[in-house]
């Protein structure tokens, strides 16, 4: 979903020299394969949108997978980008990096000030590590690696599996099936009290392109 949104919007902006691979074409869990890709292609600007993602059930059922796979993807790509001279990298994380009981609205300085939501803490820890890895490369090597934390995304090519998807695609599917089956109601998880933010994937993509073109992390931001 995220990768395809980035490609659509980069093409709309007139970029034609795009290098991208599907999961079947490039296994980011394989360090040697990633190294070979970067060595051959030499991308100058890297959008790291790849990740193992899922909803509450998937995160809570497979925490080892979510922690290990995301750590490997991030380490492999960021290391290879640096070794092969990428000018800039944008790493996409998740708003679940913030404490479960963080004050609202959430501010960046709330990161690592409290306990994470236990149902997806493995995924959150992987993403926090990705942020710190970008900051550490910037501090040690003077790179320009950006960490961007979008809120709950939805859009074309989302995962609509009721057990593994995020909340928005799950609701879309439930409403759609209720309509075509003429059901009087749908059942949603939870008690109805949480507030959620949602962001359309193409809006997120335009924001990422803007950051890549206009934003450079400061020394103070790299040391937080």
Domains of the chain, start order: 2-157+197-222 (3.40.50.720)
pLDDT at position 83: 98
Tokens describing residue 152: 């709950």
Residue 190 confidence (pLDDT) above 90: no
Antiparallel, parallel or unpaired: β 198-200 and 152-154: parallel
SS (H, E, C) 56-87: HHHHHHCHHHHHHHHHHHHHHHHHHHHHCCCC
Residue 182 confidence (pLDDT) above 80: yes
Specify whether the CB–CB gap between 180 and 124 falls below 8 A.
Answer: no
Other C-beta atoms closer than 10 Å to the C-beta of 214 total 7
- Tell me the average pLDDT across 158-177: 89
Specify whether the CB–CB gap between 168 and 152 falls below 8 A.
Answer: yes
d(CA 64, CA 59): 9
Tokens describing residue 196: 């959620």
Q: In which band, very low, low, confident or very high, does the pLDDT at 185 lie, cut at 50, 70 and 90?
A: very high
- Tell me the average pLDDT across 37-58: 93
SS (H, E, C) 103-127: CCCCCHHHCCCCCCCHHHHHHHHHH
d(CA 86, CA 89): 7
pTM, entire model: 0.88
**123 given a catalytic annotation:** yes
Residue 72 confidence (pLDDT) above 80: yes
Specify whether the CB–CB gap between 89 and 145 falls below 8 A.
Answer: yes
- Tell me the average pLDDT across 76-82: 98
Residues in a beta bridge with 148: 92
Catalytic pick from 45, 98, 123, 154?
A: 123
């Amino acid at each position: 979903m995220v990768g395809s949104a980035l490609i659509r919007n980069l093409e709309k902006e007139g970029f034609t020299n795009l290098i991208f691979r599907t999961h079947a074409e490039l296994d980011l869990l394989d360090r040697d394969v990633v190294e070979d890709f970067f060595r051959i292609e030499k991308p100058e600007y890297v959008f790291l949108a790849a990740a193992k993602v899922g909803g509450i059930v998937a995160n809570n059922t497979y925490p080892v997978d979510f922690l290990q796979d995301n750590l490997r993807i991030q380490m492999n790509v960021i290391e290879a980008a640096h070794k092969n001279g990428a000018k800039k990298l944008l790493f996409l994380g998740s708003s679940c990096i913030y404490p479960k009981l963080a004050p609202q609205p959430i501010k960046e300085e709330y990161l690592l000030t409290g306990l994470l939501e236990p149902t997806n803490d493995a995924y959150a820890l992987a993403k926090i590590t990705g942020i710190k890895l970008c900051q550490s490369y910037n501090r040690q090597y003077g790179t320009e690696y950006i960490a961007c934390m979008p809120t709950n995304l939805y859009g074309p090519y989302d995962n609509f599996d009721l057990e593994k998807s995020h909340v928005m695609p799950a609701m879309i599917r439930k409403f759609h099936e209720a309509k075509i089956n003429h059901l009087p109601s749908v059942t949603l998880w939870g008690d109805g009290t949480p507030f959620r933010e949602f962001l359309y994937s193409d809006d997120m993509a335009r924001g990422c392109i803007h950051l890549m073109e206009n934003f450079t992390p400061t020394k103070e931001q790299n040391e937080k």
